[in-house]
Amino acid sequence: MMYGLTIFGLTIYAGGHVRVALFITCVNDTLFPGTGKAVVTLLRRLGVDVDFPEAQTCCGQMHLNTGYREEGARLAHHFVDVFRGYDAVVVPSGSCGAMVREQYPKLADGGAFGEAVAATVPRVYDLSEFLIDVLGVTDVGAYFPHRVTYHPTCHSLRGLHLGDRPRRLLEQVKGLELVPLPGAEECCGFGGTFAVKNPDISAAMCGDKVRNVLDTGAEVLCAADNSCLMHIGGTLTRQKAGVRVMHLAEILASTAPGDTHERGDSR
């Protein structure tokens, strides 16, 4: 039997380990698997063992947002069953993280499901929250010698209230020049099905965002949501703007060639 000490709701076992699971999300799993790999690489570098429950599926956000409450609730039930018992669930998506944290309690109908939601939801963390609030780390040992600007996606900003956490992590990356993004808090226009139902408005909003990105002179646009990066990146590509889009996890997982750095410094 393993004995542990519980701090801030997380059980720290002998050797300093916590039981952490990665919730990859649909978009990352099907379109951006490199983001999930980057999360695992980064957390392992920081001494965290990460599980990947293969039974995981969609969080149900798309279903709930388009009026399919029953189907969304069914997926919420499955989520809490799959991730029950983990000390932390790390989600590299502000959008899906906000779905779990904001909507699951509203879907809870009492009984066993309500208890499971109450036990699981507080342990769901965006990557930047887990690094800063749980591990107490801002310097993760990353190296990325490029000019970068950061877009705080709507769900990251208004749903999860990440604040300056992603920026604090980026500011500690060796070689990285972080430049402010004009109109950073304005929506990029994606909004999931909003981009499908209102394509002209969505494209106009994205056009405004892209102009602001280009004004920074950045080589890379960074965010904590690949869905928004996919939307903005598509416009950047069509305009042959020469600006890459990268998830925060991919930048934080980057190291200098030949670097054997194992742990980030707590700050």
Domains within the chain, CATH numbers bracketed:
4-133 (1.20.1050), 138-252 (3.40.50.1860)
Tell me the C-alpha distance between 140 and 266, whole Å.
8
Confidence of residue 4 (pLDDT cuts 50, 70, 90): very low
pTM of the model: 0.86
Q: Which tokens sit at 19?
A: 């039981």
pLDDT (average), residues 211-237? 94
pLDDT reported for residue 86: 94
State the CB neighbour count (10 A cutoff) for residue 262: 10
pLDDT (average), residues 193-212? 88
With CA atoms as reference, report the closest residue to 225 among 200, 203, 250, 253. 250
HSE-CB of 130 using CA atoms within 13 angstroms? 29
pLDDT reported for residue 159: 86
Tell me the C-alpha distance between 223 and 229, whole Å.
7
Question: Is pLDDT of 43 > 90?
Answer: yes
